[in-house]
Amino acid sequence: MANDSSKVWSAFSLVAALGAAAVAKKGLDTGWRAATGKQPPANPADPDVDVWEAVAWAAVSGTLVALAKMLAQRRAAGYYLKSTGQLPPGLRKDGA
């Protein structure tokens, strides 16, 4: 049963993180276009992209995507806790 629980949590957590990352990326692209009037860099490593534009994109997109994934996984863990009465595997305290 514990192994099944772990698989369910892994799938649930992955879906939540991927969904949040996709939504965050869409919002970031829209926000970048609104703020700069340009498309976000498709590849910040491209030498044709200004280095400061690449740095700004990497910092903003990395931070916001990671934050969105973390918040989605926290919500998923809360839902899992309400559904099962215990924290998901990997989030349980030792001995719990």
* pLDDT tens column, 3-27: 667 788 888 888 988 999 999 999 9
Q: Write the DSSP symbol of residue 1.
A: -
29 has a pLDDT exceeding 90: yes
State residue 32's pLDDT score: 93
Measured CA distances, 86 to 33, 38, 71, 75, 94 (Å): 43, 47, 19, 14, 13
> What type of residue sits at position 49?
V
pLDDT tens-digit readout, 42-59: 898 999 999 999 999 999
Torsion of CA 18, 23, 29, 35, to 10 degrees: -130
Question: Considering just the CA atoms, what is the radius of gyration of the chain in Å?
Answer: 18
* Predicted confidence (pLDDT) per residue in 80-93, tens digit: 899 888 888 888 87
Phi, psi of 93 (to 5 degrees): -70, 155
